[in-house]
Structure 1
Amino acid sequence: MDDRGSATVFGVVGIAVVVGVVAVCLQVGGVVVRRHEIGAAADLAAVAAAAHLPDGVAVACGRARWVVERMGERLGGCAVSGWEVIVAVEGDVSVFGPLSVRARAGPAEG
């Protein structure tokens, strides 16, 4: 049995494995970045809504929608409970499923 060329086969397989791992890492990194962007939009929208809560729930949720849309995301929901605002922001569907982040804001307790 002749072993000539086996190093080439192992080299090609090794390169294919490295390329596959890099591709998966790039996908995961992209999803992490998108999740942080969506989280930032949710945080800012919740704070903006809480700041406008004295003007009414409709105004507060309208301000949350305005902030989210300016950041290029989609508002999934806006709920008010007392002086606390909970905002849900939805993002694109990735290979790992849909991205959605919730944030809440209101007066500090204590």
Structure 2
Amino acid sequence: MHDIYYGSALPPDRKPIPLTAPNERIGEPCLHVGSTKVVAVITTDAPDRNSPFSAPDIASRQIAVHLLDFFDHEIKRGRLTGKLLPLQSGVGDIANAPCPRAPTKD
């Protein structure tokens, strides 16, 4: 665990996390929890179980198309600039999928 950020509020009062580069850090290296909440501490030498991302399926590709269409629409309406900066995304199959509109290498 690293970069645990406690600066967010619940919606609708949540603000963007003020990071603008992938190497920036804002959080803390530990999770704060009251000692009365801890029931056990388990140490292990087992490696992390990072699962590989799945290949984009039809639903993931359609979500990406809808998102890109939304951004295009908002740019045309003048509510977003063409640079779309900064955008934040999570990590996962959809967030890490290749862009369906990206040029292909022939």
Using the size of structure 1 for normalisation, the TM-score is 0.28
Bigger Cα Rg: 1
Q: Which one has the bigger strand percentage? A: 1
